[in-house]
């Protein structure tokens, strides 16, 4: 996968040289190209922002440098086109599902902004000929989009084939489509079996795969009920067996759907 990022702080992306993502780059699974937005300015101050039309506080990023920068990136491969991801708190939520969708794309272009964001005409211009998604990583406001890009590239990058040591790790993750859709992963443990008087749940030492899978699912349901109860209302009734339904009822979330897993 090719990833391009245009930013006034390309140095913010040093963490992409480390750990899983760094290794994916070394192995050629992920190619990251960082671009300094100011390289597409033409004044001595390398200005990228101006006052907002309509008044109000803060500054808005000028369309000119963004347009030239995006054109410059597109020129790298005129035969193809990237999916453009514009981080903004007013975008659609970034989810595991979206991370999986992006992981299947060959080319992504991120446009992290600063100040009050990018002049909307930039999104209109490219939205007319490319897929442009305005995406939020959460209901809070960051000072700039660089951190949001780091979050998204890490979530997407670990899904690329060959990046995770064990491809199955992503299948059991919280939110993973399938049996974990709308569920949080339960607690995890490693050796030793007892630490400071805390014991690992006996079932995990039993070697009984069926009981372990059942325990993990129960814990996922319990944790979701405790930390993210709103997710339970989005569970697919067809994926819930009798045991799930009984537990959900005990937890105070009775299921009314007709279809049931066996
Ligand atoms: N005035 C904007 C608003 O209220 O929507 C906030 C602008 S914010 C200070 C500057 C930039 O940080 C945004 O344009 C975006 O690139 C990035 N940003 C801030 N919060 C974000 C979030 N939750 N998700 C994605 N990007 C975010």
pLDDT tens-digit map of 58-71: 999 999 999 999 99
Phi and psi at 108, nearest 5°, equal -125, 140
138 lines ligand 1 (CB under 6 A): yes
Q: What percent of the chain has pLDDT over 70?
A: 98
Q: Is the pLDDT of residue 170 over 90?
A: no
- Can you give the pLDDT at residue 189? 98
pLDDT in tens, 75-107: 999 999 999 999 999 999 999 999 999 999 999
Give the integer Cα–Cα distance in Å for 109 and 33: 9
Q: Is the pLDDT of residue 258 over 70?
A: no
Q: Is the pLDDT of residue 122 over 80?
A: yes
- Can you give the pLDDT at residue 262? 62
67 lines ligand 1 (CB under 6 A): no
Burial class (CB in 10 A: 0-12, 13-18, 19+), 43: exposed
73 lines ligand 1 (CB under 6 A): no
Torsion sign over Cα 179, 181, 184, 188: positive
Residues 6+ apart with CB under 8 A from 51: 59, 60
For atom 23 of ligand 1, the residue with the nearest CA is 89
Mean pLDDT to the nearest integer, 197-204 = 98
Mean pLDDT to the nearest integer, 16-45 = 98
Phi and psi at 204, nearest 5°, equal -70, -20
Residues 114/147, Cβ–Cβ less than 8 Å: no
**How much is the pTM?**
0.95
Of 6, 145, 151, the one to substitute when testing ligand 1's pocket (max ligand atoms within 8 A of C-beta) is: 145
């Amino acid at each position: 996968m090719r990833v391009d990022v245009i930013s006034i702080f390309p140095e913010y992306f040093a963490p992409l040289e480390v750990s899983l993502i760094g290794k994916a780059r070394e192995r050629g699974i992920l190619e990251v190209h960082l671009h300094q937005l100011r390289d597409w300015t033409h004044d001595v101050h390398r200005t990228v922002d101006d006052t907002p039309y309509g008044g109000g506080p803060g500054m808005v990023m000028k369309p000119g440098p963004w347009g030239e920068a995006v054109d410059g990136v597109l020129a790298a491969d005129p035969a193809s086109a990237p999916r453009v991801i514009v981080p903004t708190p007013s975008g659609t939520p970034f989810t595991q599902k979206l991370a999986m969708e992006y992981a299947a794309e060959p080319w992504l272009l991120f446009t992290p902004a600063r100040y009050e964001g990018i002049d909307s005409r930039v999104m209109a211009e490219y939205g007319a000929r490319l897929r442009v998604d305005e995406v939020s990583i959460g209901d809070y406001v960051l000072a700039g989009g660089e951190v949001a890009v780091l979050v998204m590239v890490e979530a997407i990058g670990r899904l690329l084939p060959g990046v995770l040591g064990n491809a199955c790790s992503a299948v059991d993750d919280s939110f993973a489509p399938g049996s974990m859709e709308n569920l949080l992963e339960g607690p995890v443990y490693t050796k030793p079996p007892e630490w400071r008087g805390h014991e690992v749940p006996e079932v995990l030492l039993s070697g009984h795969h069926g009981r372990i899978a059942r325990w993990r699912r129960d814990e996922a349901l319990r944790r979701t009920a405790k930390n993210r109860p709103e997710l339970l209302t989005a569970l697919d009734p067809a994926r819930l067996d009798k045991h799930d339904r009984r537990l959900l009822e005990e937890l105070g979330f009775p299921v009314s759907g007709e279809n049931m897993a066996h």
